[in-house]
Amino acid sequence: MSLSPDSVFILVSIFCVALFVLLVALWLFGPAPKKVELKEQEQKVSIEEIMKILDSPKSNILKLTKAVDMFFEHYDELDLSDYRKKNFLFAITVHRNTSTELIIHTEERLRELNPDLERDLNKTLNRALDARDI
């Protein structure tokens, strides 16, 4: 049994149209792509992420200011020891792209939040300023 060229053309055309209709139906009524929730990722701020910004010599004043804002915004959520608080102040002070206003602001906020560390913060600030002169 042989098919005429016209019947082969009709069969191939029907198959292509059916395949096209199936693909369009799947595209229109298929499952929606899953959206990645960025809110959960943004909420997780750690001291390590903040310190990465401070340790990078390429960080400019805007990034440093953002890091300080993140630090104080999430201050209660971060697991901070006294050492980490002093290390944060030291890192802000010795960074080459920092500003005097940012150092003063950071030191004042840390003193407000930790009145018992005032003497240690003062020592840390003096050591950082001495290290900055080198």
The answer to the question of residue 23 being in a domain is no
In a domain, 128, yes or no: yes
Q: Can you spell out the DSSP letters for 97-115?
A: T--HHHHHHHHHHHHHH-G
pTM: 0.66
Residues 80, 17: Cα–Cα separation, whole Å: 65
pLDDT band of residue 29 (cuts 50, 70, 90) is confident
Report if residue 7 sits inside a domain. Answer: no
| 4 part of a folded domain | no
The number of distinct structural domains making up the chain is: 1
Q: Are 54 and 88 in contact (CB under 8 A)?
A: yes
- The residue segments making up the domain with residue 68 are 38-132
| Residue 108, both tokens | 């004042």
Tokens of 120: 């240690």
Categorize the per-residue pLDDT at 22 as very low, low, confident or very high, splitting at 50, 70 and 90: very high
Query: Is residue 39 pLDDT above 70, yes or no?
Result: no
Asked if 102 contacts 64 with a C-beta cutoff of 8 angstroms, the reply is: yes
DSSP per residue, 19-46: HHHHHHHHHHHSPPPPPP-HHHHHH---
28 inside domain: no
Domain assignment of residue 125, yes or no:
yes
Q: Give residue-wise pLDDT tens across range 71-124.
A: 999 988 888 899 999 999 999 999 999 999 999 999 999 999 999 989 999 999
113 lies in some domain: yes
d(CA 113, CA 124): 16
Assess if residue 97 is contained within a domain.
Answer: yes
pLDDT of res. 102: 93
